[in-house]
Amino acid sequence: MKDISQDMLTKFHESYEADKAAQVLHGALAKTNMMDLAYHPMKGAALKGAFTVEVKTRGITAQEQSGRCWLFAALNILREKVAEKCHMEQFELSQNYLSFYDKLEKANNFLEMVIEHAHAPVKGQLMQYVLRGMSDGGYWTEAADLVEKYGVVPKQVQPETYQSGHTDRFVSVMNRLLRKDAMELRALVKAGKDPYARKAEMMEEVYKAECIAFGEPVQQFDFTWQDKDHKFHEERGLTPQEFYRKYVGISLTDYMAVINEPTFDKPLGRVIAFHGGSNMAGRDMKGLNLTAQDMEALCVKQLKAREAVWFACDAGAAGARKEGVWDPESVRYEDLLGGFSTDMEKGKRLEYSASSATHAMLLTGVHLDENGNPDRWKIENSWGKDVGDNGYFVCSEAYFREFVYEAVILKSHFTEEQKKMMEMEPVYINAWDEDY
């Protein structure tokens, strides 16, 4: 290995001293938020305006200081079904209710993976992946599994708590508990003892801790509402599963995740699958890998059918949070820091960990150019109303092509050829190689 020499430092110093523009930028950055300086307002303004196709939704939600964007976006799809059926102007489903079961399922999956792989080296890649533990994060597959198993409830039945909106400390404490449990379960298995009685006790501890932090999930409730004509309605004694079947009235198995990940290990036209730490035990992540153009066409088709699209993207790339814009031309950190380039092909960006899907939201509109092709998209975010346009954002076509990695589409919108792709045997990858 070569060290940094004094000659190199001298050359760097002389180059910087000769660059007066760089010194001006230093003066600006010394007293200003980098995001504010990186934003080009005229380019961002060009993305604002009406949309050719726009789906009505019922308000902005706020995930607070939690990583539950994926669940908020999924429930915001479902709330529209309830609101339409009940003729309501405003409605929201309880995120806290399903967040409880999400963490419980993740803890169970963690312990099951520990038992299954008890003889794997603790410092091996597999166990190091497992020992990452649980997080607030997830994708459509996990949301669909939770809804189908546990149903949903109105938000007024199980509201947010401080802990449900500020989850870092709770998740951190739970992961310390789970890693201690992992050590104990591995020792039991290696000693030839049955680990499951002890595992049940461990799960009871997790359940109790969640009840204390978030409240115990409701088992039965009364649903009361007033419709837009101010007419009162009430139904008593519903279970969450009954409410889901009657008032949502759809099955999430009718949807399929589409991914665009052009990496060497993920062939196009095939379902890519893996079992991850965020899954339920016995369930896998699955997504049909298509081109960006095919994924876009399906998104437009679903929006034209007047249904929003759950999607996942890299929220850290080319984003101006306050202005509500995602666009590589509008947000230029590279220009601000000396004019270098971070451009990479989409697949290589994933392979080299330069990008990944970090946030999930809803596409609620699209603007089509004179040739009928999308050139900008309207987004319903879950960061509250104080950012963007009262909580709504916009992204350019360039951003969509490069930084959107997953979209969830009703299966009836797929072409016959794409439906046949779904029936093929999935291509399984290692969970630690996941990019979405």
- Euclidean distance between CA atoms 151 and 356, whole angstroms: 30
Q: Which amino acid is at 143?
A: A
Q: Based on the number of CB atoms within 10 Å of its own CB, is 340 exposed (0-12), middle (13-18) or buried (19 or more)? A: exposed
390 annotated active-site: no
Domain boundaries, the chain: 34-63+251-436, 84-217
Q: Of 275, 359, 367, 413, which one is the catalytic site residue? A: 359
For the segment 4-45, what is each residue's pLDDT rounded down to a tens digit?
999 999 999 999 999 999 999 999 999 999 999 999 999 999
B/e letters for 68-103, b = 16+ CB within 10 Å, e = fewer, are bbbbbbbbbbbbbbbbeeeebeebbbbbbbbbbbbb
For the segment 199-249, what is each residue's pLDDT rounded down to a tens digit?
999 999 999 999 999 999 999 999 999 999 999 999 999 999 999 999 999
B/e letters for 49-67, b = 16+ CB within 10 Å, e = fewer, are eebbbebebbebbbbbebb
Contact indicator for 186, 111 with CB cutoff of 8 Å: no
DSSP 264-326: TTS-TTEEEEE--TTSPTT--EEEEE--HHHHHHHHHHHHHTT--EEEEE-TTSSEETTTTEE
For the segment 53-107, what is each residue's pLDDT rounded down to a tens digit?
999 999 899 999 999 999 999 999 999 999 999 999 999 999 999 999 999 999 9
- What's the whole-number mean pLDDT along residues 283-307? 97
pLDDT recorded at residue 47? 95
The percent of residues above 90 in pLDDT, for the chain, comes to 98
pLDDT recorded at residue 436? 54
Q: Of 279, 299, 381, 413, which one is the catalytic site residue? A: 381
pLDDT recorded at residue 235? 97
Residue 191 has pLDDT above 60, yes or no: yes
User: Does residue 406 come out as left (phi exceeding 0), alpha (psi in the -120 to 50 range) or beta?
Assistant: beta
Neighbours of 4 (CB within 10 A): 8
For the segment 399-429, what is each residue's pLDDT rounded down to a tens digit?
999 999 999 999 999 999 999 999 999 999 9
Contact indicator for 374, 51 with CB cutoff of 8 Å: no
pLDDT recorded at residue 98? 98
Q: Of 69, 299, 313, 395, which one is the catalytic site residue? A: 69
Residue 295 has pLDDT above 80, yes or no: yes
pLDDT recorded at residue 433? 84
pLDDT recorded at residue 435? 61
Residue 317 has pLDDT above 90, yes or no: yes
Q: Which amino acid is at 251?
A: S
Which one, of 197, 211, 194, lies nearest residue 158 by Cα?
211
Q: Based on the number of CB atoms within 10 Å of its own CB, is 169 exposed (0-12), middle (13-18) or buried (19 or more)? A: exposed
What's the CATH number for 34-63+251-436?
3.90.70.10
Which one, of 220, 106, 203, 209, lies nearest residue 158 by Cα?
220
279 annotated active-site: no
- What's the whole-number mean pLDDT along residues 257-282? 96
69 annotated active-site: yes
pLDDT recorded at residue 294? 98
Which one, of 59, 78, 49, lies nearest residue 380 by Cα?
59
Residue 434 has pLDDT above 80, yes or no: no
- Euclidean distance between CA atoms 254 and 273, whole angstroms: 18
- What's the whole-number mean pLDDT along residues 256-271? 97
